Every structure is written in C-alpha cells, then in structure tokens.
Amino acid sequence: MLKVWAARRRAFNMELTKNQAVLDWIDQQVALTKPDQVIWIDGSEAQLEQLRQEACATGEMYKLNQEKLPGCYLHRSDPTDVARVESRTFICCKKQEDAGPTNNWMDPQEMYAKLHKLYDGSMKGRTMYVIPYCMSVVGSPFAKYGIELTDSIYVVLNMAIMTRMGAEVVPYLDENFIKGLHARANLDPEERYIVQFPEDNVIMSINSGYGGNVLQGKKCFALRIASNLGRQEGWLAEHMLILGIQNPQGEVRYVTGAFPSACGKTNLAMLIPPEGYQKNGWKCWCVGDDIAWLRVGADGRLWAVNPEKGFFGVAPGTNAKSNPNALATTHQGTIFTNVALNLEDDTVWWEKLTPNPPQHALDWKGNPWSPDTATGPAAHPNSRFTAPAENCPCISPEFNNPNGVPISAIIFGGRRAKTAPLVYQSRDWQHGVFVGSVMASEKTAAAEGTVGETRRDPMAMLPFCGYHMGDYWQHWLDMEKAIANPPKIFNVNWFRTDDQGNFIWPGFSENLRVVEWILKRCFDEVGARETEIGYLPNVEDINLDGVDVDRETLASLLSVDRDLWREEAKQIRAFYAQFGDKLPQTLEKELEGLEARLQD
C-alpha cells in the first residue's frame, strides 16, 4: 500500500528533494491520511497566488478592498475553533515526570495510536500540501528546519507570512528535520489535539483550523519543541520580544522581554519614543514581537534572533492610538481572521479600531451586524491578523541578520495593582532567574476567574515550555556558566493603580523612560538603591521631562510594601510546592533569602 501511495504522490507533483528520510516520512503520512493529491509548496508568488484564488473560490477566504488593503484577505474559522486550547495540548514523552505538572501528558505510544485512528483517511477528497519551512534566517547558525503537512490552504498562506518557506529551505533538510502533520478532519472539538513529541521532534494537530493550533512553526515548534532542543544544545527558546533602543549618540542597545498576555508586550515591542525623546534623536527598532531564540556568541554575550518572519497579532484594541506601528503593519499582505467585514467599503473592522463602528457589516461569524442591533461583538475577542514583519514602520535593520543582535537586558513583566514596583533589577543572574520564575499577573474583569486573583506564569512560558518547568529553570541557571558577559535581568510593572483603581504610570511611549534607566544600569551609567527585592532606581534617575508624573508620584511607584511582599513570598512558596524535588535548590535559597530580608 505504501508503494502505491508513493507512486501516486510522485505523479501528483515533482518532489523538491531526493532526501529519502523526508520522502519516506511523507509516504507514510500520505498512506495514513489518504489525500486525493499531494502538492509541494515551493514558496513562489505564482503558486501562492493560485492558492489564494482557490481559497476565495471555495469561500475559505474573502478578498478585501485591494485599493485600501492590497494583498489582504479575510478568513473565518469555525465558531468552536477560535483560540489555543491548552486543555487539548499535550507534551508526550516517555516519562510523565519529564513533562512536569504544568503540561498535559499521555504516553507517546498511546497518543500515537489515538491520533492514527483520527488521521486515518482524514484527507480523503482533499489535497495535502507539503510545506518545507525554516525558523530563523535560512542557513544561519540559529536556523532549524521542518516540514508541515496540511490539508488547509489557510495554513499554507499563513506559514508563507510567518516563516521562511519553500524551495530555498529544502537543501537544508536532513534526517533531524521537525516533522509536522496537520489535518482539519471534521473540526470535532472533542477530538481536537495539539500534540508535541519532544523526544521524536514530531508535532501533530488535528480537528482544528485556528492559527495558534495549526501554524506549527509558531508555539508548537518555536517554543515547545525548540525549548527542549535548547536544553539539549545549550541555548534558550523564549516567549520574548526583542527591542533595539537607539540613543542620541547613535548607539543601538537591545533588550528582550517576557510578558504574559494583556501586559503590554506588543506595545513595548513596537515602542514609539515620547515626543521629547524623538526630538533628541531617540529611535526604537522592533526585532521581534513574540519569540526569541538566544545563543551565546563568540564574545561571551547572549545573542538573540526572532525565528519568525511575521506577526500573528490580536486585532481588538489595536488602533492608531494604542499601537500605530502594529496597525500600519496590517495594511498590506495581511490575512485577517475572525474580524468583522465592513460592507461599506469591503475592509475590516474590530472593536476599538475606530471610534465609530460601521453601520453595515458582517460579524466574525458572517452574520449581519450593526451597532444599533448588535447582541454580540463584531469581531471575536481573539480575532487575529497575520502580517509580514517587513511592513512594520519600526522593523529593525537587523531583522534578517543571521547572527542576531547582542542582548544587554532581559525584562520580565506582569500586571500587579500594588505589589511590584515600576521597575527593579535583580541582584545577579541567579536572582534574575528567581524573578522570572515567579512572574505573576492579576486577573482583570475581562479574564476568566476572580478579579485580582494572581496567576503565576514563569518567564511567560507556562503554556509553552516543552518539558518540566523545574528542569527549565535549572537550564536557565546552568546557562550562566556559558555566558561570560550575561545580560542584566529586570522586572517591570506598568500597572500600579491608585485607591480608585486608576493606573498611576501613563505607560505606552512613556515606558521608554524606564527602559532608558534599565540600559543605563547595564552599562554602569547610573546608580541604584538596594532593597529587599533587588535594586531600585533613585527617583532623580528616571527622566520625567515632558510627562505628567511628579517626583512624589514616582517615589510611590518605586516603593516596596513589606507586608504585601511577605504575602507574596507565601504565595511563591505555595506555587513552588507543586514542583517537588525538581525545584532547583538555588531558587529555594533565593526564596529563603527574600523571606529573611523581609523579616529583618
């Protein structure tokens, strides 16, 4: 049977490779899923345009106003399939303890058997597309290569935006390529699985068409699989932005930053300097908005690349005021998912895009919608745009540098109303790992759960770490030995509130004032004061020129409430308890040190 399918596949489309390991694996998946035809994706514009036309003809995508949004399309996913499903996401390794308490686990052989039944014949009547792709710059020291097999044109076109893909990748494929299989099947949510097999370098997703579950180069490969590869090979795969700050002297210094959702990550990645800073010659450069791969360079510093080629951003709330750079990025060559269709001019709309919503629209499900009769949102709250990074007005000139950029600072951040100060610096690398391991945000009214409830999200990696979180922290600690000149580690909190619940710090562009202090600390250009939790700025060292924040207010933002931090230490100890013997002793000692300093 396998030979029959191999012969049929070769009749469908000339392979782009003679690599037998690649061809044998594809033959096996063809025999399993039984597509009507198989097409290799070469990445050419002609082939992609043909697929766009086909998707529009079948209704899978809708071509938008090409004068206002050239090269842009609208896609609607199934209403039951609109977000990542953490409950259906698994790390399948031989030992359950290697997956850890924060990942769903199943024995690999049991999961393979379950999935094979679901995949059997799942592509009958459909086309299988073979997508060779690269994470990071093709041929670079950072690059990792994979193939995703899918029956979705939507996936092909999104992967073309999000990754380097096609014929240029094929010569780099070897027996270690990451194997990915995706089938839409019947979109049954009860049989929806997103599974990583880290010991086999295999990704399998089925019964989903939503990007976060099926664009396998993103969270599946770039974080869950790559974090495990990084552990084995001595590097880090992190859920981090990469930002370059150019000062008036023309120096560009780079930071990475990890933030849970709704904590200002995208805004910081595409930071626009305040007006006064712009006049003085400051510039900000976006290298990456979501993922960073970090390796030790020959100079002993940590160097980072963004392994992606595009942005997969949340649409609602993105507008000309909140993030003009992100909005500008979407104006060409973008695929919008689950936003509203503005029938007045064949463009798109979502909540807070403009003050006045369109009077005539189709909502994210394709139903008539108007502001006067609406019973629900026009766009799904998790609606997305997939946009080429090259569109971003502040994209870094180093975006395609195969060697990456040198990192001076690592910034962790969360959303805390009272506890965490505006910014503080860790005492050293080990303390910095502790700070990252206890990252937390408090739930807002828009989030599921109790308002004010604290949710820990270590390094913003809780849903994305491909192995035991305790081992992940130990890998961070071990990395210090390899980094002769490690970046300094900081924590920020833009979300301190007053007694009425109003934000005290203005945020957005003004956050550059804090990042400026962070970078000055990295280059020993400014002092700091030691506190129980780390080093905090002296009030006079944060530039307040042109911002409506006085020194007294700033002093309150830089205060440490010992009672709140004693409670925080109790919560950290309870959080750490779930990791048992896997909790690195170094972190246990860091917690004991914090507790002792708070009692003194």
Spell out the domains of the chain, with CATH numbers in brackets.
2-58+89-233 (3.40.449.10), 238-306+399-599 (3.90.228.20), 310-391 (2.170.8.10)
Give the span between the Cα atoms of 297 and 254, in whole angstroms.
15
Are the C-beta atoms of 395 and 286 separated by less than 8 Å?
Answer: yes
Q: Residues 441-463: pLDDT tens digits?
A: 987 543 344 556 899 999 999 99
Closest C-alpha among 555, 540, 557 to residue 506? 557
- With b for 16 or more beta-carbon neighbours within 10 A and e for fewer, the 164-184 pattern comes to bbbeebbeebeeebbbbbbbb
pLDDT at 448: 44
Give the span between the Cα atoms of 13 and 8, in whole angstroms.
9
Across 1-15, 97-111, 444-458, 553-567, least confident range: 1-15
Q: Taking the chain, what is the end-to-end CA distance rounded to the nearest angstrom?
A: 74
pLDDT at 446: 38
What does the CA dihedral 126, 38, 223, 307 come to, rounded to 10 degrees?
-120
Q: State the chain's maximal CA–CA distance in angstroms.
A: 77
Interval 409-436 mean pLDDT: 97
Interval 162-189 mean pLDDT: 97
pLDDT at 3: 52
Q: Is the pLDDT of residue 563 over 60?
A: yes
DSSP per-residue letters across 239-285: S-EEEEEE-TTS-EEEEEEE--TTSSHHHHHT----HHHHHTT-EEE
**56 included as an active-site residue:** no
Q: At what angle do helices 153-162 and 45-58 cross, to 10 degrees?
A: 140
> Which residue reads 């995949």 in tokens?
119
Catalytic residue selected from 72, 93, 134, 263: 263
Q: If you average pLDDT over every residue of the chain, what do you get?
A: 95
DSSP per-residue letters across 519-549: HHHHTT-S--EE-SSSEE--GGGS--TTSS-
Give the span between the Cα atoms of 425 and 415, in whole angstroms.
17
Q: Residues 236-294: pLDDT tens digits?
A: 999 999 999 999 999 999 999 999 988 889 999 999 999 999 999 999 999 999 999 99
Q: What percent helix, strand, coil does the chain show, rounded to 5?
A: 35, 20, 45
Strand partners, 132: 147
Residue type, 201: N
Q: At what angle do helices 2-12 and 20-33 cross, to 10 degrees?
A: 100
Are the C-beta atoms of 222 and 373 separated by less than 8 Å?
Answer: no
pLDDT at 14: 55
pLDDT at 444: 56
Closest C-alpha among 454, 459, 481 to residue 564? 454
Phi, psi of 524 (to 5 degrees): 55, 40
Q: Contacts for 354-358 with beta carbons within 8 Å, 24 or more apart?
A: 354/319
- With b for 16 or more beta-carbon neighbours within 10 A and e for fewer, the 387-408 pattern comes to bbbebbebbbebbbeeebbbbb
Strand partners, 288: 242
Q: Residues 128-140: pLDDT tens digits?
A: 999 999 999 999 9
Phi, psi of 202 (to 5 degrees): -125, 140
Closest C-alpha among 137, 519, 70, 107 to residue 306? 137
Interval 215-234 mean pLDDT: 98
Give the span between the Cα atoms of 480 and 351, in whole angstroms.
44
Residue type, 67: E
Give the span between the Cα atoms of 325 and 339, in whole angstroms.
19
pLDDT at 451: 52
pLDDT at 269: 98
Q: Residues 513-528: pLDDT tens digits?
A: 999 999 999 999 999 9
Give the span between the Cα atoms of 277 and 513, in whole angstroms.
9
Give the span between the Cα atoms of 262 and 260, in whole angstroms.
7
Residues 6+ apart with CB under 8 A from 73: 52, 55, 56, 61, 62, 63, 64, 157, 334, 335, 336
Closest C-alpha among 399, 408, 390 to residue 247? 408
Q: Is the pLDDT of residue 380 over 60?
A: yes
Q: Residues 475-532: pLDDT tens digits?
A: 999 999 999 999 999 999 999 999 999 999 999 999 999 999 999 999 999 999 999 9
Are the C-beta atoms of 113 and 119 separated by less than 8 Å?
Answer: no
Strand partners, 481: none
- Total length of the chain: 600
Q: Is the pLDDT of residue 10 over 70?
A: no
